[in-house]
Amino acid sequence: MGNDYVVPAIVAVTLVTVGIGFYGLRLARTTSDFLVASRAISPTWNAAAIGGEYLSAASFLGIAGLVLKYGVDVLWYPVGFAAGYLALLLFVAAPLRRSGAFTLPDFCELRLGSRRLRILATAFVIFIGWLYLVPQLQGAGLTLATVAGSPYPVGALLVATVVTANVALGGMRAITFVQAFQYWLKLTALAVPAIFLVLQWQADARPAVTPPDGPAFRTATTVVVEHRATLTLPDGEIREVSPGDELTFAAGDPVPEVSGVATDASDWLLPSTAGDDDQGLFATYSLILATFLGTMGLPHVLVRFYTNPDGAAARRTTLVVLALVGVFYLLPTLYGVLGRIYTPQLLLSGQTDAVVVLLPGAALGDGLVGRLLAALVAAGAFAAFLSTSSGLLTSVAGVISTDVLGRGSVRGFRWATVIAGGVPAVLALNVSGLDVSQVVGLAFAVAASSFCPLLVLGIWWRGLTDLGAAAGVLVGGGAAIGAVLVTVLGPPLSGWPATLTAQPAAWTVPLAFTVMVAVSMATRRRAPADVAATMLRLHTPEALRM
Amino acid sequence: MAKRLPDVGPGGTAPPPRRTRIVLADITRQDSRAERTRTELAQQTQVGEALVRGLVRAQLALALRLSLVVAIGLGGLPWLFAIAPSLGRTTVAGVNLPWLLLGVASFPFLIGVGWAYVRLAERNEQDFTDLVQRPER
């Protein structure tokens, strides 16, 4: 890739991020300074910060890649990622802020008064945080490899080191303005090129997204295969390709069919649930459940709610986040769709997650505009990676330093950051073949089967006991984790077992709720004595309290 | 989150002082009324307890009602596409209906439901506040 604007753009984003972080630190040195500063921040700024932290590599790169590859079925990802904030708003936002809990383990101790449940919650926070960090690092490695030509591990490791150092030194510690800046940067980085892309599409006489004879190459293209695949060539010949193979196509050649990819127009264009595909329907509902209910259980999302002055503001902030995130998610779909026209070679090479980064160059050519827009998109992708992984790393390092290392010192926090950043970095090196969004989807499934029932029942049901909560988290969350491990590490499955493990939420979430309620009812006498006072605190407006 | 932050929230011990214009008569009256409420709620008398239970129930019912709206509005779509495959082939302005519904229309729908929730939940809380601050009514 001969784009000399990309690397300066990425460096600039990193420097601005670190710069705003240090400027913010100078303004607020102590913890209470930080809190007071947060209270002076309007819901709009706060919401932009939450959105900035939330829109990860999966949103920025992954969704467009999935749309390119699978078509309409994966539109449930952006819808679910946005709807997660609605569930958070309806069931959690205001009471959680009123509880005064800062993290999920805090909430467990506050509501149920159990140290052991706190430890269990800590373990789950760490697991979910790591599971979510891996695809971020993976996305970073992929982006650097695509735009700067470095090998995948170099990118992932380099970026993991930058973020870990940054968080350990305190440069990114929950500075609202950095995250808010990243939101607007990400939105701009997708929206501005999108305008040019649509104009270009108009200028090219609106080529059909799904031409009757299947997708075709617009220009002469050489594809280097990255993943093993089975191709069906237009003349019916079947060919096995393995990583490193080079395939050359002339302009106008049809794209061969790739196994496991919706190359065929109707597969891509129409919902796979049509007809009697029970597994497709199950997987769709599972995905909906995981994303709708998983958002509230993500460690870096909850922490941010503490920066709201009161419960009513927490609600309004969540509504603004929903709007900001909703606006953003209109864009990745467009990239995936236009990718069918301008970058069909990604279907063959398997690097569909790169579509957002490559599309401006492919559609607009190597002119100045094309290169500048490609640099802008790369900068946005980098912002996505930086903000989400910094937020996640801060949350995970926070619980490791307080609940595992057991000391609240700055030194302890720095050691915790190194541990929290090191483990996912090692993991990221070994799973480069997985779709970024799919791994994130699994993290959502685990969060939805463990913390979602804990929060919802803890906030709305007086009968919840510590044993019930622990049993529900262990059984539901454990089942989801088992499914994740089988999917990521286990042998390839097919049929129903594959569906049940790849999209586990539809059975693990109800399981978690059922176990939690049943065990709580069986151990009714263990319900905390101060539950009435807790309910009062969670649900009554602040104006009425002492 | 390295350390537990001191709880300076409204539920805590030290709310930040707010600059307000003070009119003496006004504040005494408000105080005595608020005082009674606080005692009522804090001592968890049966009346206070019943009031809080009512509020929790009202808020939960509201949240569940709106989730039902989303469950039918969005959750019904995969099922709808499954039983009526022709719907997927219907196009509006050249775009297939599922793409429009999921890729575009779902977001304003979610925001609309959220907006309704914020309004109604705040109204529930206002009703609760009115109720406990004027028990003589």
Residues A200-235 pLDDT 10s: 887 776 777 666 666 677 666 677 666 666 767 666
Which of B1, B33, B45, B102 to mutate against chain A (most A CBs within 10 Å)? B1
Distance separating alpha carbons of residues A172 and A53, to the nearest angstrom: 11
In a domain, A97, yes or no: yes
| Beta carbons of A426 and A176 less than 8 angstroms apart | no
Please enumerate in sequence order all residues whose Cβ is within 8 A of that of A353, keeping only pairs 6 or more positions apart, or say none: A61, A62, A65, A139, A142, A435, A436
Decide if B37 touches A, using CB distance below 8 A. Answer: yes
Residue B61 touches chain A, beta carbons under 8 Å: no
| Neighbouring C-beta atoms of residue A522, cutoff 10 Å | 13
What is the helix (H) or strand (E) element at residue A177, kind and residue range? Answer: helix A176-203
Which residue among A102, A106, A541 sits closest to B129, beta carbon to beta carbon? A541
Residue A248 lies in a domain: no
Task: Please indicate if any CB of chain B lies within 8 Å of the CB of A409.
Answer: yes
In terms of residue numbers, what domain contains A304?
6-212+263-544
A474 pLDDT band, cuts 50/70/90, is: very high
Amino acid A273: pLDDT: 56
Mean pLDDT of A246-250: 71
Contact of B83 with chain A, judged by CB distance below 8 Å, is answered with no
Domain count, chain A: 1
What was the pLDDT predicted at A516? 92
Q: From CA A401, how far away is CA A270, in angstroms rounded?
A: 49
**Which tokens go with A507?**
């059975």
**Gap from A204 CA to chain B (nearest CA, Å):** 17
A 424-463 residues with CB < 8 A to B? 460
Give the span between the Cα atoms of B12 and A309, in whole angstroms: 12
- Residues whose CB is less than 8 angstroms from the CB of residue A130 and which lie 6 or more positions away in sequence, other chains included: A396, A420, A423, A424, A427
Averaged pLDDT score across all residues of chain A: 79
* Per-residue pLDDT tens over the stretch A167-181: 776 644 445 677 788
What distance in Å separates the CA atoms of residue A511 and residue A475, rounded to the nearest whole number?
A: 8
d(CA A428, CA A193): 29
Question: What's the token pair of residue A37?
Answer: 């500063």
Q: Is the pLDDT of residue A477 over 80?
A: yes
> Is residue A503 domain-resident?
yes
Q: Is B74 on the interface with A (CB under 8 A)?
A: yes
Return left, alpha or beta for A239; rule: phi > 0 is left, psi -120 to 50 is alpha, else beta. Answer: beta
Note whether A198 contacts B: Cβ–Cβ < 8 A. Answer: no
- Contact status of A398 with chain B (Cβ, < 8 Å): yes
For residues A189 and A381, the answer to whether their CB atoms sit within 8 Å is: yes
Tokens of B14: 């030290």
Within 8 A of A31 by CB-CB distance, chain B residues are 3, 5-6
Position A33 scores a pLDDT of 46
Q: Which residues of B touch A322 (CB under 8 A)?
A: 110-111, 114
- Kindly state whether A76 is in contact with chain B, defined as any CB-CB distance less than 8 angstroms: yes
* Residues of chain A above pLDDT 70, percent: 81
CA distance A467 to A114: 9
Taking the C-alpha atoms of residue A131 and residue A185, their distance in angstroms, rounded to an integer, is: 25
Q: Does A82 touch chain B (CB under 8 A)?
A: yes
Domain with residue A88: its CATH number is: 1.20.1730.10
Q: HEC profile for A382-427?
A: HHHHHHHHHHHHHHHHHHHHHHHCCCCCHHHHHHHHHHHHHHHHHH
In chain A, % of residues over pLDDT 90: 12
Most confident listed range (A146-150, A243-247, A419-423): A419-423
Q: Do the chains contact at B118 and A315, CB–CB below 8 Å?
A: yes
How far A375 CA lies from chain B's nearest CA (Å)?
A: 26
Asked if B124 is an interface residue toward chain A (Cβ–Cβ < 8 A), one would say no
Strand boundaries in A295-338, DSSP class E: none
pLDDT in tens, A8-50: 888 888 787 777 766 665 555 554 444 444 455 677 878 888 8
Contact state of B129 with A89 under an 8 Å Cβ cutoff: no
Nearest-by-Cβ selection for B114 from A322, A402, A460? A322
Q: How many Å apart are CA A274 and CA B84, to the nearest integer?
A: 7
Give me the mean pLDDT over the A412-431 stretch: 83
Which residues, at least 6 apart from A352, have a Cβ–Cβ distance to it below 8 Å? A65, A66, A68, A69, A339, A346, A435
* Number of residues assigned to chain A: 546
Higher per-residue confidence, A312 vs A304: A312
Among A62-76, A82-96, A473-487, name the one with the lowest average pLDDT: A62-76
Contact status, residue A329 vs residue A83, Cβ threshold 8 Å: no
User: Residues A503, A282: contact at Cβ < 8 Å?
Assistant: yes
Shortest CA distance from A93: residue in chain B: B118
List pLDDT tens digits, range B18-52: 665 554 444 444 455 556 666 666 666 667 778 88
> Which tens digits make up the pLDDT trace of A432-470?
666 666 778 788 889 999 999 999 999 999 888 888 999
Neighbours of B12 (CB within 10 A): 11
Query: Cβ(A279)–Cβ(A70) under 8 Å?
Result: no
How much is the average pLDDT of B66-87?
84
Q: Out of A326, A413, A535, whose CB is closest to B111?
A: A326
Residue A111: inside a domain: yes
Contact A28, A34 (CB under 8 A): yes
Closest CA to B89 of B104, B100, B79: B100
- CB distance B108–A79 less than 8 Å? no
Question: Which of A265-274, A368-377, A467-476, A498-507 is the least confident region?
Answer: A265-274
Q: Residue B130: list chain A partners with CB under 8 A.
A: none
Q: Is the pLDDT of residue B3 over 50?
A: no
Region A492-521 average pLDDT: 85
The pTM assigned to this predicted structure is: 0.83
pLDDT at residue A355 is higher than 70: yes
Is A247 inside any structural domain?
no
Q: Is A309 helix (H, G, I), strand (E, B) or coil?
A: coil
* CA distance to partner chain A, nearest, from residue B67 (Å): 8
Distance from CA of B104 to the nearest CA of A (A): 6
| Partner-chain residue, chosen from A82, A83, A274, that has the shortest CB–CB distance to B81 | A274
Residues in a beta bridge with B96 = B91
Rounded to whole angstroms, the Cα distance separating A342 from A271 reads 23
Phi, psi of A222 (to 5 degrees): -110, 125
Residue A384 inside a domain? The answer is yes
Q: Would the pLDDT of B7 be above 50?
A: no
Task: Note the pLDDT of residue B137.
Answer: 47
Determine the pLDDT at residue B2. Answer: 44
Residue of A nearest to B52 (CA): A536
Contacts of A328 (CB under 8 A, 6+ apart): A51, A55, A59, A183, A186, A187, A190
**Whole-angstrom distance, CA of residue A531 vs CA of residue A130:** 33
Is A237 within the bounds of a domain?
Answer: no
Distances (CA, A) of A2 to A190, A346, A370, A377, A452: 21, 19, 12, 15, 47
Contact between A294 and A509 (Cβ < 8 Å): no
Compute the nearest-CA separation of B109 from chain A (Å): 10
Residue with tokens 């026209």: A341
Q: How far apart are CA A478 and CA A461, in angstroms?
A: 23
The nearest alpha carbon in chain A to B41 belongs to A536
Closest Cα partner for A417 from A391, A384, A447? A391
A356 vs B88, more confident = A356
User: Is it the case that residue A299 has pLDDT exceeding 50?
Assistant: yes
Q: What is the pLDDT of residue B21?
A: 56
Q: CA A314, CA B114: separation in Å to the nearest integer?
A: 13
Q: Are A29 and A110 in contact (CB under 8 A)?
A: no
- pLDDT at residue B37 in the model: 61
CA distance A420 to A132: 12
* AA letter at A420: A
The two three-digit tokens of residue B89, written as one number: 């082939």
B57 min Cα distance to partner chain A (Å): 8
Residue in B1, B11, B49 closest to A545 by CB: B11
Position A23 scores a pLDDT of: 66
